[in-house]
């Protein structure tokens, strides 16, 4: 049964979002769930018959927070293999309706939490106008808000998959207009992120307690053919590896901050181009790229330092297979200055 909230109930829920959103949104793992590839996949999945295996595998890995990574948890890996092996059969009977998509995959994948997350994600990709991005954490966030607002009778259980997906989407659509003024720009994205973080708050609070929260990247995509800067000579970046992508993102981030200094500590560099910048969301790839960017590997001369020995140390780390992937984190107070040749 579709969820029907009165205006009073919506206002009560929006008040809770207002109370909690800043604290919990700051802990959302942005790099694990970037928006850009999701939007591309939603366009591609309008014609599921054209979806290739690598696209399907990549999208499914995004749904469990492992995009660009190989270490997918076994329960998800097993489900993903089932989806891939049955995709052709699915396409042959496909109808762009949740009532067609959900039962098909539920019969094959089951109805536990891993299956719910996989099926709900596929349904969103295939029916984005009818089904919001849904997973067990967002459903828990919804249930917790409903309980806190003294509406426990509206809560749902994952086992009733079709009803839960439908009710979450109803809840989201009815609450969104009441939170536009609270969440501001990109409210439609932020509401989903908030519900994820609120439903996953116990785990995220432990992560925040052991390591600082990652800021949201400001430069999330990079197109070498179209990028431009008022302040920097981007055309002098001749290499196209991840280290060079990060440096270009750094210059673009500084370009968005008029009057900012070209002399930065490594911590300030990391804050300007956090994990997820330029579409680099794999922590291993990001750490290696940052180390290489700060050194002289392959003749890079992006930075000048008062301590040339440190530039050489970064170069050595980048060149050796047994590098310390946290080397930059051990040197966060080191100051570097962007090479003046990149200044216009």
pLDDT of 211 above 90: no
The answer to whether residues 144 and 122 touch, using CB atoms and an 8 Å cutoff, is no
Instruction: Summarize pLDDT for 235-266 with one digit per residue, the tens.
Output: 999 999 999 999 999 999 999 998 888 999 99
pLDDT of 333 above 90: yes
pLDDT at 209: 75
The distance from CA 199 to its chain's CA centroid, rounded to whole angstroms, is 16
pLDDT at 1: 63
> What is the rounded distance in angstroms from the CA atom of residue 201 to the CA atom of residue 314?
36
Instruction: Summarize pLDDT for 76-126 with one digit per residue, the tens.
Output: 999 999 999 999 999 999 999 999 999 999 999 999 999 999 999 999 999
pLDDT at 206: 87
């Amino acid at each position: 049964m579709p969820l029907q909230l009165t205006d009073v109930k919506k206002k009560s829920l929006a008040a809770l979002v207002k109370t909690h959103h800043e604290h919990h949104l700051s802990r959302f793992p942005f790099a694990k769930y970037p928006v850009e590839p999701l939007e591309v996949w939603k366009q591609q999945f309008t014609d599921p018959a054209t979806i290739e295996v690598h696209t399907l595998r990549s999208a499914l890995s995004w749904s469990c927070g492992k995009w660009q990574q190989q270490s997918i948890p076994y329960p998800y890996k097993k489900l993903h293999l089932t989806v891939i092996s049955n995709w052709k059969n699915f396409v042959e009977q496909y109808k762009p309706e949740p009532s067609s998509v959900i039962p098909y995959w539920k019969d094959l994948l089951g109805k536990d939490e891993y299956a719910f997350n996989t099926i709900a994600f596929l349904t969103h990709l295939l029916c984005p106008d009818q089904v919001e991005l849904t997973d067990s954490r967002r459903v828990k966030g919804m249930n917790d808000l409903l309980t806190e607002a003294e509406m426990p009778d509206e809560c749902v259980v994952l086992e009733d998959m079709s009803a839960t997906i439908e009710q979450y989407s109803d809840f989201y659509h009815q609450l969104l207009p009441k939170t536009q003024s609270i969440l501001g720009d990109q409210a439609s994205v932020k509401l989903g992120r908030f519900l994820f973080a609120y439903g996953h708050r116990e785990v995220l609070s432990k992560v925040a307690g052991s390591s600082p929260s990652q800021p949201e990247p400001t430069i999330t995509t990079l197109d070498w053919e179209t990028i431009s800067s008022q302040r920097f000579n981007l055309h002098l970046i001749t290499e196209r590896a991840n280290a060079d992508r990060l440096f270009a993102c750094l210059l673009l981030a500084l370009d968005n901050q008029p009057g900012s200094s070209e002399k930065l500590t490594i911590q300030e560099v990391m804050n300007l181009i956090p994990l997820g910048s330029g579409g680099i969301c794999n922590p291993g790839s990001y750490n290696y790229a940052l180390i290489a960017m700060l050194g002289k590997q392959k003749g890079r001369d992006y930075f000048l330092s008062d301590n040339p020995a440190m530039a050489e140390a970064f170069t050595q780390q980048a060149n050796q297979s047994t590098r310390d992937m946290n080397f930059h984190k051990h040197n966060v107070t080191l100051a570097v200055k962007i090479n003046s040749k990149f200044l216009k």
